[in-house]
Amino acid sequence: MFDNNREQRGSILLFSLVTLTILSTAAFVMASLILRETKLARTVDNALQTWYGAETGVERSLDVITEGRKTAATFSGTVTEVENMATSSAPYVMPNSGAEYYIDASKTTSTLNALTVALSEFPGVQIELYNPDSTFALMSAESMQVLWNDPQCGGSSRIEVTYQEFIGTSFGLADDTVRKDIYTCGVESPPVGWDCQATSNTPAPNTNYVVRVRGLDCTILGANIMFYDADNGAAGGGAEVGIPSQAFVTVVGSGLQTERSFSYRSKWLPSASGLGDFALFSASQIVK
């Protein structure tokens, strides 16, 4: 005869094992989900701290630049002061927060070789092609090259370039040295990665300029502007000429798990008398 009690006990044991396995699996899954959500919450909180750290560094460095303008400090000295605000070896720690930030001195500069900008129809972008710390010093630019992409303009966009020369040996604008050129996409063959190229040989050596570049037919979202010390730009064998009037600052917000980098470009207001009406229409740009 079969032992029914033994068979029932075996069934109960098997059912208990299956139930225990299911409950253990469910508990493990729930614990994994809770742990993942906890880690995610910590990561989000840390990311916010790094955001606020980088944002604070941007605001403080902009304050230093603004104060430098107000007190007629030198441009290069003001940018050096920004570079010294905080370093990667000793980042600035925000009070009552775990957020930190530092200025990346290797990327922060007062002289850019190239400007990457958007060219709106109005007012466009303005470039002070002179040394704001020494307006009597003369620039060596002999050509300007503009590269831009044209997906939003149908392949036939035009740019307008206006040059205003001003006297380098005395304060004031030169009398008859305003020139305006218009360039159409497709006339020159651009390098790989660009839709359009325009090369201007208008700049004269040993001359200072205020240059305005704008899109004529639509807003051009991405353009690269460079100056060279020979005609025909890079194709003419020219070396890049730095633009010593643009502060470029990179701030890094850091935390336990993440980092966030903000970069911005800020113009230094012209110090040459008589340039105010021409020069002050382009706002500083912050790129995040």
- How many independent structural domains does the chain possess? 1
Kindly state whether residue 186 falls inside one of the protein's structural domains. Answer: yes
Residue 141 backbone dihedrals phi, psi, to 5 degrees: -70, 135
Q: What is the pTM of this model?
A: 0.76
| Residue 46: per-residue pLDDT | 79
Kindly state whether residue 18 falls inside one of the protein's structural domains. Answer: no
Is residue 229 over pLDDT 90? Answer: yes
What gap in Å lies between CA 66 and CA 84, rounded to an integer? 16
Tens-place pLDDT, residues 29-68: 676 665 665 554 456 577 888 898 999 999 999 999 999 9
Kindly state whether residue 128 falls inside one of the protein's structural domains. Answer: yes
Q: Is the peptide bond before 123 cis (omega within 30 degrees of 0)?
A: yes
Kindly state whether residue 218 falls inside one of the protein's structural domains. Answer: yes
Is residue 76 over pLDDT 80? Answer: yes
Kindly state whether residue 196 falls inside one of the protein's structural domains. Answer: yes
Kindly state whether residue 209 falls inside one of the protein's structural domains. Answer: yes
* Residues 133/74, Cβ–Cβ less than 8 Å: yes
Lowest mean pLDDT among 65-69, 87-91, 188-192, 254-258: 254-258
CA proximity to 77, closest of 268, 280, 227, 210: 268
Kindly state whether residue 248 falls inside one of the protein's structural domains. Answer: no
What is the Cα Rg of the chain in Å?
30
CATH number at residue 157: 2.60.120
Kindly state whether residue 206 falls inside one of the protein's structural domains. Answer: yes
* Residues 199/233, Cβ–Cβ less than 8 Å: yes
Q: Give me the domain span that covers residue 199.
A: 114-243
